[in-house]
Amino acid sequence: MADNDPNRIDLMSDASLAQWAKKLDVTESQLKDAVSQVGDRATDVEMHLKGTRSTTNDDRIEAAGAGAASERGR
């Protein structure tokens, strides 16, 4: 279990559960499910929850460039 490690999610602690759910912008149920799938390391849980929602810097640059191009076309 987490043993007060700030990099681990302690599902036995209501305070920890609420804190991590808020930090990761998920419900407590989603957080519990993620921990059951990938373990209690916060970085692993975060990457699991991001899944396909994750964007790369290249994606953001491309989107910004596309927006700039459409502005020039006006």
How many angstroms from the chain centroid is the CA of residue 10? 17
Coil, strand or helix: which one is 8? strand
Contact 1, 12 (CB under 8 A): yes
- Cα separations (Å) of 60 from 21, 29, 52, 63, 68? 26, 30, 14, 5, 12
pTM confidence score: 0.64
Query: pLDDT per position in the chain (74 positions), as tens?
Result: 445 788 999 999 999 999 999 999 999 999 999 999 999 999 999 999 988 455 556 666 777 776 555 455 55
Contact 34, 48 (CB under 8 A): yes
Domain ranges of the chain: 14-72
